[in-house]
Amino acid sequence: MKFRFGLLPRVVLAIGLGVGCGFFFPEWATRIALTFNDIFGQFLSFVIPLLILGLVAPGIADLGKNAGWLLAVTAALAYAFTLFSGFGTYLV
């Protein structure tokens, strides 16, 4: 039987390896890793909204007549929760 790590042990192991590599690798190797991290982070920041739009737009289009109303309700809820969160953090 093949033993497989779950997601949480893999994440903890990756964090530990990252910390260990940061301590023992030379500075140039760490800078290469940081450069890759920055480029990958910017790529994800660019792609994730496109993925969300690509998955949500067909779902809204399949709704038919109620699509406009549901979109308005969703936008109103998002705006209301944004205002609520903003005022909540401002007042606390």
User: According to the model, what pLDDT value does residue 64 have?
Assistant: 76
Distance CA 65, CA 70 (A): 9
Instruction: Please check whether residues 34 and 16 belong to one and the same domain.
Output: yes
Residues 68 and 57 in one domain: no
pLDDT bucket at 5, cuts 50 / 70 / 90: confident
More reliable by pLDDT, 88 or 71: 88
* Residue 2 belongs to a domain: no
Structural domains counted in the chain:
2
In a shared domain, residues 29 and 54: yes
pTM over 0.75: no
Element (H, E) at 8: helix 7-24
Task: Tell me what pLDDT residue 28 has.
Answer: 92
Quick one: 37 and 68 in the same domain?
no
The reported pLDDT for the residue numbered 67 is 74
pLDDT digits 0-9 by tens, 43-80 = 999 999 888 888 887 877 777 777 778 878 888 998 99
* Cα-only R_g, the chain: 22
Question: Which residues have C-beta within 8 Å of that of residue 63, sequence separation ≥ 6?
Answer: 70
Identify the domain containing residue 90 by its residue range.
64-92
The reply to whether 31 and 45 lie within a common domain is yes
Neighbours of 84 (CB within 10 A): 10
